[in-house]
Copies of this chain bind each other. A is one copy, B any other.
Amino acid sequence: MCRWLAYSGTPILLDSLLYKPTPSLIDQSLHARLGVETTNGDGFGVGWYGPRADTPAIVREIGPAWSSRNLREIARHVRSPLFFAHIRASTGSAVQETNCHPFRHGRWMWMHNGAITDFHRMRRDLALAVDPELFLSVEGSTDSELMFYLALTFGLEQDPPGAVARMVGLVERVGREHGVEYPLQMTVAVTDGRRLWAFRYSTQRASRSLFYSTRVETLRSLHPDVEFLREASDETRLIVSEPLGGLPGMWNEVPEGRYGVVQPEGDGMARFAPQPMEEMQERSPEGEGSAISSRRAR
């Protein structure tokens, strides 16, 4: 599997979260404690929004994060109000930049920890369900990227939780068709550069860990001497695969089968349930596939 972090809030150097905490995300590339694999050395990526750019910058490398000098350089010099970082442990697909997270489409970024069980057997069916025009942009061979393009096909840009629910519904249906008992395991983060969603779900209801940071004002009263907290805006929020640093009271587990949204209008959390694809098929009888029709119907 993998480890990731998503940050939204007061602009900070990437360094502050990638390297400075103990343990940091980079430490987790060598010694993750809560992951299925302890080593996440099969490439990494960072994606960040700048002050002016519409689309995020994405830098990915195929070597381990712990020894990348370029990552260290970028982390020390790039400041951003919203960024993703991801360290990869391949579950089989090739170690190449196009398989490293985050993935980008227009102003959207996506990253994933988990796996589609027996993905290679389902890959063709899932690829077929991607909108043909979007399919042009699929570059790698991971389940994660295909999940992103399925979510885009199902309306991610209009309704992220709904689109992810439909994507999961499809994966589970195709999984069942291939005789897979527990097709999906995922924690996903997705953003449009303004709002940030994070999902924790698995078919088996035994999802990989996911944590969100306590509200800054609460942390500030708990730790009045921590400088970063004095500077951080109240909206600052961090979502991570496993806790970084050692500040007591900092982390809260996202419950099983939930998603959260971090946004200027106020953060929130809600139950997450896949949307069964049978239901969708009824609504789109005319098309080649339900997925595509559902998109075209909008």
Q: Give which listed residue, B61, B78, B98, B120, contacts A136 with CB less than 8 A.
A: B120
Contact flags A94-138 to B (C-beta < 8 A → 1, else 0): 111110000000000000000000001101100110001001101
Identify the stretch in A65-73, A162-170, A181-189, A204-212 within 8 Å (CB) of chain B at 4 or more residues.
A65-73
Contact B64 A76 (CB under 8 A): no
Could you say which of B53, B60, B127, B138 contacts A76, with CB atoms under 8 Å apart? B53
Contact A67-B95, Cβ < 8 Å, known A41-B41, A120-B136: yes
Interface residues of A in 14-41 (CB under 8 A from B): 30-31, 38-39, 41
- The interface residues of chain A, by DSSP majority, are classed as mixed
B94–A73 touching, CB < 8 Å:
no
For the complex, what is the distance from the CA of A64 to the CA of B78, rounded to whole Å? 24
The answer to whether B124 touches A135, judged by C-beta atoms less than 8 angstroms apart, is: yes
Q: A58-B73, A73-B58, A128-B128 are in contact. Are A67 and B42 (CB under 8 A)?
A: yes
Q: How large is the interface on A (under 10, 10 to 19, 20 to 34, 35 or more residues)?
A: 35 or more
On whether the beta carbons of B94 and A139 are closer than 8 Å, the reply is yes
The reply to whether B60 and A63 contact each other, CB–CB distance below 8 Å, is no
The residues of B that contact A48 with a CB separation of less than 8 Å are 77
Give chain B nearest CB distance to A105 CB in angstroms: 15
B97 & A69 in contact (Cβ 8 Å cutoff):
yes
- Residues of B within 8 Å of A67, CB to CB, are 41-42, 90, 95
Tell me whether A74 and B98 are in contact in the complex, defined as CB-CB below 8 angstroms, given that A123-B135, A135-B123 are known contacts.
no
A70 & B60 in contact (Cβ 8 Å cutoff): yes
Determine the distance from Cα of A157 to Cα of B97 in the docked complex, in whole angstroms: 33
Closest Cβ of chain B to A296, distance in Å, is 15
Contact with B along A139-175 (1 / 0, CB 8 A): 1110000000000000000000000000000000000
Given contacts A58-B73, A94-B96, 14 further A-B contacts (CB under 8 A): A41-B66, A42-B67, A48-B77, A53-B77, A57-B73, A59-B70, A62-B63, A64-B64, A69-B94, A94-B97, A96-B96, A98-B141, A123-B135, A124-B136
